[in-house]
A and B are shown apart, each in its own frame.
Chain A
Amino acid sequence: MNHVADRFEKHSPVPEGSSANVPTTDELRITTPPKVCGMGHRMKRKEDPRFIRGRGNYVDDVKLPGMLHMDIVRSPYAHAKILKIDASEALKIPGVLAVITGEDLKKAGNLHWMPTLMSDTQMVLPIDKVVYQAQEVCAIIATDRYIAADAIEKVVVDYEPLPVVVDPFEALKDNVIVRDDKELKTNHIWHWEAGDKEATDQVFKDAATVIEEKMHIPRIHVSSIETCGMVANYDTAMQHMQIYMTSQAPHAHRTVFALVSGLPEHKIQIISPDIGGGFGGKVPVYPGYVICAVASLVTGKPVKWVEDRSENLQADSFARDYHITCRLAADKDGKITGMQVKTLADHGAADAAANPSKFPAGLFSIATGSYDMKAAHIEVDAAYTNKPPGGVAYRCSFRVTEAVHMIERMTDVLAHQLGEDPAAFRMKNFIKPEQFPYKSPTGWDYDSGNYHAALQKAMDVIGYHDLRKEQAEKRARGELMGIGISSFTEVVGAGPSRDYDILGIKMFDSAEIRIHPTGKAIARFGTKSQGQGHETTYAQILAEELGLPAQDIQVEEGDTDTAPYGLGTYASRSTPTAGAAAAMAARKIRAKAKKIAAYLLEVNEDDLEWKVDRFEVKGAPDQHKTIQDIAFAAYTNHPPGMEAGLEATDYYDPPNLTFPFGSYICVVDIDKGTGEVKVRRFVAVDDCGNIINPMVVEGQIHGGLTMGLAPALFEEIVYDENGQNLSGTFSDYLLPTAMETPKWETDRTITPSPHHPIGAKGVGESPTVGAPPAIANAVVDALWHLGVRHIDIPITPQKVWKLLRAKGVND
């Protein structure tokens, strides 16, 4: 490596009382009656009435008077010099108003480059060369989207193709330099490591068994059903920029826009309306957004840009692409003792990940997972290639999926090699419940966990031992059946301000509650739901804390003019951060409410106790004031010397991350003739701490499991040697339909987070993280006796068929 280590792993300190050995239960905690509908109730979602009527309001639904449309000319080459852009024919088309090129953006104030969220840089529009296929080359502004589409066909661009580097290992040889704008002429972006190298080397020296596997976690794409888009509406009179944007992080985006454009931040309003799925793909700022905003600035008219599916699949939100070599060491008793990892991360043409800035490889160092081992050492190097910017999430909190896939695959390989049952092997190696709070060899402070309970439950539900018997019988008959386990540990809820920031902005999140005189409330948050159901679940948290019926609480997010500042929704952080802020703000309100109640009841505050929705005089429950009584009094009869009103805001800075976990078991049958893998059963036991709404949690798990199934068996973004994306449509990039998706079976254990105000941990991404290795392990389990140790995902019928042929199973 010709570029030195510049960023190292750091972790949050363990705050007082942030971790503890907490008991695990199966029982939902419900303390409020259905009328109030606090935590634990299966409340029907409050957002649904508009969606089931087709009355959602998504970005493409926004139509403003005089609105223009933008379309983008994209590069057919993965690496080429731009000699000339000739838009004269396009501009002759009636209705075409303008073309915007890199030169135009440069003149407008060097807007042709922008920062990525990882403090790298990325071209908005190129001046001299393009560095990936489908890169934005110039944009057309027209009165109609059809006319704009016609016009981009008429733009003539002269390219001089350059040699292309697609493979990151090739890229490190620096024969082709992707980013010659950089001072250092190298494709090596950074080197990062975690853990203790010396201690790990020693453990490997002393090991009785060492295994090594290479694996590729391929490039995939979130493909939310709504693509990305924007309506930018610049008011020249008021010098005010209003932006409707498919944004998971509207506040952070407003700040980025202010920094990039120089517009004052109070003159920028970002509205993230209903969002048709995000999964991390709507966290980055894409060039199209910037061009669209500039187009509105320049024309003084509203401009809409909505990408089509091929643009979406070819140019934005790529995840993963980790080339991993992992070694695992064990002692003579089959106890895992250490882990060594070397990884090459293919970031494409820019490091456009959205990790916390001190974590270039995200939270990948969680890789020791659920297992207690002495030492671990993990290295990641990142490389530029001629592919679109990568490293964005795919429903995964910052590289945890890669980490979990690696450790869960390795654990299975080791168990099989030692001739041990993979379930028993895991039970033997798990961190024990009494070891929590647990300090991992790479420095994490696991707040709580009970891995044995979750795996045992999954085994009971699926009937593990009977399945093993069935498998033995089938194998004797030559049938291929496999059982795969994944016992993952997640790490979410970024994060404590000491270590977690994006572009310097600390990763707190916020809630602001106003209770109206009649006892109804509005609550606003710095996060932004894209389907997670915040309008319901946040209302339930507030109902739990304040006794106001959840129905009476209006939840709003996504308008930066009204919502408090927050970092947004991704990485399963909403419940751990803004959910906590909701509880903390509610508790501030309750403290004031108590004073008001004491005043109204003419008693001492100490004589009062809180009961669901009221303060009662201790021992005299008929003397009470309900939260509604108190709200009315806060505006009509508040104590002298006290401010009127009943409002509170909280900016919650979590003391630690949360560590959801679970155990999944998958049963597959493999068709020997076609190589097709059929998931027969899949049992998911998740532990996300206390549950706000079990219906919503199950829904999140179903969706997450499906986004785990997808990369395990179907999805991969593939490039040819020229850097051409071969997966640019839904006919080539295969999202699972209802046919391929099994009927998910979910269950739970509950081990509350000891440091989170409501004991919750976050859940949206656990299943995406945990499911792929369960499926891959099941497939390998079915084939191990044939000498198969590992298959890279996606495990397509073609791959399996070839393997079976090679092993002489089907001819």
Chain B
Amino acid sequence: MSTHKISVDVNGTPQSGEVDSRMLLVHFLREELRMTGTHIGCDTTSCGACTVILNGRAVKSCTVFAVQADGAKVETVEGLEQGGTLHPLQEGFWEKHGLQCGYCTPGMLMCAKYLLSKNPDPSEAEIRAGISGNLCRCTGYNNIVEAIRYAAEKMATPQEVAR
């Protein structure tokens, strides 16, 4: 097995590492960079707990090799808060009780961020479809939908757009 030097922009910070070709991106983030916010729920592309944004697209990082992220921009839950201000999605999840055990939450947040980047004003049905690759066993989804609506509305108000 060969190893590779990779450089990845993670939440705006350049990171590099020497990884086995088979190392998964989720393990690179969690084990090498010790950014444990991204979780593993199934390791088989089914649950979405490991969702991160790779070059602007939501991906399941248990199904991406770390080497595939070489030279890419990766966004994780740890990058949502900016300068001590919570992202509207984080605020929404807190405000609307969109999480219980918190295990699916980072993946849900990143999936929702991607969804809002493509569709800033999604309907309930569009939100449900948008997060259908992410399983939550605790919340029954009602409040996750509301949390994402909360963020969409907040991000649509003028001062938020300016941010």
22 A-B residue pairs with Cβ-Cβ distance under 8 Å, sorted by A, are A45-B94, A50-B102, A52-B93, A53-B90, A54-B38, A54-B77, A60-B39, A61-B36, A146-B20, A225-B136, A275-B101, A277-B103, A310-B44, A533-B100, A699-B140, A702-B140, A702-B141, A702-B143, A703-B138, A729-B46, A737-B133, A738-B128
Q: Which of B13-60 contact A (CB under 8 A)?
A: 20, 22-23, 27, 30-31, 34-44, 46-47, 49
User: A146 to B20, alpha carbons, bound, how many Å?
Assistant: 10
- Whether B127 is near chain A, meaning CB under 8 Å from some CB there, is yes
List of B residues within 8 angstroms of A696 by Cβ: 97
B76 at the interface (CB under 8 A from A): yes
Q: Which residues of A contact B135 (CB under 8 A)?
A: 225, 730, 735, 737
Stretch at the interface among B66-74, B104-112, B152-160: B104-112
Interface size, chain B (Cβ < 8 Å)? 59
B8 CB–A CB distance under 8 Å = no
Q: Is B117 an interface residue (CB 8 A)?
A: no
Contact A53 B142 (CB under 8 A): no
The yes or no answer to B7 lying at the interface (CB within 8 A) is no
| B-contacting residues, A697-744, CB 8 Å | 698-699, 701-707, 729-731, 735, 737-739, 741, 743-744
A224 sits at the interface (CB 8 A):
yes
The one of B105, B137, B140, B142 that contacts A223, using a Cβ cutoff of 8 Å: B137
Interface centre among B35, B41, B81, B93 (most CB of A within 10 A): B41
| Contact present for B43 and A531 (CB under 8 Å) | no
Contact with B along A39-73 (1 / 0, CB 8 A): 00000110111111111111011010000000000
Is A326 among interface residues, defined by CB-CB distance under 8 A?
Answer: no
Question: Residue A206 at the B interface, CB < 8 A?
Answer: no
Interface membership of B10, Cβ < 8 A: no
Contact yes or no, B94 A52, CB < 8 A: yes
**Which residue on A lies nearest to B142, using beta carbons?**
A702
- Taking CB atoms and an 8 Å cut-off, the chain A residues in 214-259 that contact chain B are 222-227
Contact residue among B77, B101, B133, B139 (Cβ-Cβ distance under 8 Å from A224): B101
B101→A530 contact, CB < 8 A = yes
Check A53–B137 contact: CB distance below 8 A.
no
Chain A positions near chain B (C-beta within 8 angstroms): 44-45, 47-58, 60-61, 63, 145-146, 222-227, 274-277, 279, 308-310, 530-533, 695-696, 698-699, 701-707, 729-731, 735, 737-739, 741, 743-744
Contact (Cβ within 8 A) A705 B44: no
Majority SS at the chain A contact face: loop
CA distance A703 to B76 in the complex (A): 26
Question: How long is the Cα–Cα vector from A390 to B98 in the complex, in angstroms?
Answer: 32
Chain B residues whose CB sits within 8 angstroms of the CB of A52 once the complex forms: 77, 80, 86, 90, 93-94, 99, 102, 105, 109
| B-side contacts of A61, CB under 8 Å | 30, 36
Give complex CA distance A411, B102 in Å: 39
Residue of A532, A696, A703, A707 ringed by the most chain B CB atoms within 10 A: A703
In the bound complex, CA of A313 to CA of B82 (Å): 39
Given contacts A146-B20, A702-B140, A730-B47, contact A225 B99 (CB under 8 A): no
A48 touches B46 (CB 8 A): no
Q: Which of A56, A530, A705, A707 has the most CB of B within 10 A?
A: A56
Of B20, B36, B101, B129, the residue contacting A226 (CB under 8 A) is B101
> In angstroms, how far is the closest chain A Cβ from the Cβ of B135?
5
Cross-chain contact B97 with A45 (CB below 8 angstroms): yes
Instruction: Give chain B residues whose Cβ lies under 8 Å from the Cβ of A48.
Output: 93-94, 99, 102
